[in-house]
A and B are shown apart, each in its own frame.
Chain A
Amino acid sequence: MNKTITSLLAAIGLAPASQVEQLSSDVRQAKTKIAQLEQKAEEGRGEASSWKRRYEESTEAVAGWKQATQRAQAETELAKRDAERLKADLERVKADLAREQPRTVEERRRAEALKAELLGIRARVENAHDVTDSANEQLMAMEVKLDLIEAAIQVLDMRTRDQAVSSAR
């Protein structure tokens, strides 16, 4: 019966309501699925772009490291060359030192001898200074004593003259 009705409706281009509802529901589900698939496709595209970016960054980093490695290698080479030059200089200095050592020992010996001589001279100068100081002190004391003798002679002379004049009167 139902089948007949359905066939009749289909003949005039109609369908039963239940079927319409079913179809509508199917359409909605399909739309939802499409939206989900689109979202997933979008996510996939985003992830692909992220991976691409990471790849590019890694590539750049690798290139940088390569450059740094090359620079380091070049610097190492330079340092090696400097070290070799320094080593050569050191060898030269060592050789010079070995050649100059006897002369240095001699100079040192002479400097010590001069120092000893200088200390001796200084001691003699200090001694002479003390003797001069002492002589100056004695000289000043002698001057004071001479002043006193002169003063006394003048006083006595004056007294004698006074006495001589008064006794003559």
Chain B
Amino acid sequence: MTASASPFVSVVITARHDNYGGDFRERIATPLLFNYERLSEQGVPYELILVEWDPIPGRPLLCEMLAKERPDVTERILRPIVVAPQYQLAMTQNPRVPYLEYVAKNVGIRRATAPFVLVTNADILLGRDPVTVIAERRLEPGTVYRAPRCDIKLGIDQVGLSWSALEDRANQVRQPDLKPPLFSSAAGDFLLSDRDTFHRLRGFNEVYRAARAGIDTNFMVKVHGAGIPIVEIGGSVYHVDHVGSLRVSKALHRDNRSDSPWGDLDWHSEHVTYNNSDGWGLGLAPSRQRPDGIEFLDFDWKAVPPLVELRRIVLPARVADRATV
């Protein structure tokens, strides 16, 4: 990355070259370029931390493909971090969950350098209002910002998608409301706060790794319990529906909700919380910078948290509901 201005926001996403949710171009490259263009138009200096978790042997890395396809963009904003595949095997608590998405996001959050960190997903298109708020730097430290995720109809042509098209209700299949006090609907798609707040909370739950579903909600429980204001930033972010997404595939696991690739869909994510260890986000993993600019986290058992640490599962503090924006 060779961006001239120091970044105001670190955008953290995680991905893996496994063709989850469709091919690479539709799912990763198009949203990445869309967001790059929108943020650049508004003059937002940012870094895009792409954490590649458990890369598949024999397949090119996504960051390599991106760099090949759009070097002009990746040179300016991309900060790739590749995590050694052994970590997935060493940390898993549920072999049916092949991707520890939120541990991967913690890797990016921990290494973010900008004063504000936006945790989102690779296939999220940022909406007009969130980009404007970021561009105008109307963000308060010690606050967690949320935006609802609006789903765009499956199979839409993503070439040349514009804000006007995304904002057109004819293209939308779901417009959720964020409900206080947790504002938790699809929280993993847009969570923005200052870096210090993320560090104070020690990222997403790494103690309960048996599920991938509900970890974002569980983070909101921790935020709420910690008394940190949760504020709706205004406007939406957009997600193009794809085969294999949790929303589209939930019905497939209706009869066996504990056996889905997202783990148990009904675990008590809204009723317990967690205390990650000091080494959260693979903080103790040895890191090396490759000549091609990729930061590689080598495997070391020291960086792996214990398989079970029951004392780190705790009850959330009760907080009297207060008015939030």
Contacts and interface: CB of A to CB of B under 8 A. Distances in A.
Interface stretch (A6-14, A32-40, A66-74, A149-157): A149-157
Interface residues on B, range: 10 to 19
Contacts, number: 50
Nearest to B93: A151
Contacts of A148: 93, 207-208, 210, 308, 310, 313
Nearest to A143: B268
B95 A155 contact: yes
Nearest to B209: A151
A144 interface: yes
A111 to B, nearest CB: 35
A141 interface: yes
B272 interface: yes
Given A140-B271, A152-B308, A155-B307, A145 B92 contact: no
B268 A144 contact: yes
A145 B314 CA distance: 10
Contacts of B268: 140-141, 143-144
B267 interface: yes
B132 interface: no
A143 B315 CA distance: 12
A112 B267 CA distance: 48
Given A137-B315, A149-B308, A155-B307, A144 B267 contact: yes
A149 B10 CA distance: 36
Contacts of B313: 141, 144-145, 148
A147 B271 contact: no
B94 A151 contact: yes
Interface string B198-211: 00000000011110
Contacts of B210: 147-148, 151
B264 A158 contact: no
Residue among B95, B210, B314 with max Cβ neighbours from chain A (10 Å): B210
A141 B315 contact: yes
B203 to A, nearest CB: 18
Contacts of A149: 308, 310
Interface of B: 92-95, 207-210, 264, 267-268, 271-272, 307-308, 310, 313-315
Interface of A: 136-138, 140-141, 143-145, 147-149, 151-152, 154-156, 158
The 7 A-B residue pairs with the shortest CB-CB distance in the complex, in nearest-first order = A151-B93, A140-B268, A151-B210, A140-B271, A152-B308, A152-B307, A145-B310
